[in-house]
């Protein structure tokens, strides 16, 4: 076992757990009632709990490549992200869903560099997962810059907007939205500055940001 993992666990056990011991005992007895479903990227540099100053029991956290939400599909496939969304919305009754992308996303960069369409005979789980964003890019080349950094930035925002649109295809989310008992937020975290911004769609089809406040 890696020594960093051992040391990290010991620090948690002797410090953080002890500081929040009463809270953990309450959560163990009462169960969880998180206020927000957080869908975030798996990137190791992005820690939603730290960014939002959240503690145990606050966020129901789902992480995957690029914080993508697939569209609702009623089939017999395995849908890990969709299952987590269903549980959070229908069982835990969260009041909020936040999709949190981030700058410098590797999954989005994979698309921006044209790697989301593997050559014949090869298979990539990442490419398959990012294929919807690649399709969006192919359809919207007119609003995308030829500069890789600028194109990646726009695609990071487009991915968040796409996930928001896909969330609204789930029937149980449509019901909660109609009842006005659920809020959905699309945000992007800037690793360089620490800023969290709301993604906004502009009239020309591009995406801008506004402060999360």
Residues flagged as binding site for Zn(2+)? 41, 43, 102, 105
Structure tokens at 160: 């968040």
Instruction: Please report, in range form, the residues annotated as the binding site.
Output: 41, 43, 102, 105
Tokens, residue 162: 């796409």
With vertex at residue 92, the alpha carbon angle to CA 77 and CA 86, rounded to the nearest 5 degrees, is 20
Could you tell me the CA-to-CA distances from 108 to 69, 72, 154, 167 in Å, in that order?
14, 21, 10, 19
């Amino acid at each position: 076992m890696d020594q960093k993992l051992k040391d990290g666990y010991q620090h948690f056990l002797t410090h953080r757990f002890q500081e929040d011991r009463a809270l953990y005992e309450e959560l163990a007895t009462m169960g969880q009632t998180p206020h927000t479903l957080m869908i975030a990227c798996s990137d190791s540099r992005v820690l939603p709990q730290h960014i939002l100053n959240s503690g145990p029991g606050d966020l129901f956290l789902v992480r995957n490549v690029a914080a993508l939400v697939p569209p609702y599909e009623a089939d017999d496939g395995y849908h890990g992200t969709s299952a987590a969304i269903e549980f959070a919305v229908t069982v835990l009754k969260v009041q909020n869903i936040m999709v949190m992308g981030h700058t410098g996303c590797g999954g989005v960069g994979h698309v921006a560099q044209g790697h989301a369409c593997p050559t014949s005979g090869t298979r990539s789980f990442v490419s398959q997962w990012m294929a919807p964003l690649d399709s969006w890019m192919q359809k919207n080349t007119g609003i995308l810059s030829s500069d890789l950094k600028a194109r990646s930035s726009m695609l990071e925002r487009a991915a968040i907007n796409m996930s928001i649109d896909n969330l609204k295809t789930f029937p149980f989310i449509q019901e909660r939205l109609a009842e006005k008992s659920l809020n959905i937020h699309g945000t992007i975290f800037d690793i360089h500055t620490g800023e969290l911004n709301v993604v906004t769609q502009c009239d020309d089809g591009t995406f801008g940001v506004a402060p999360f406040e």
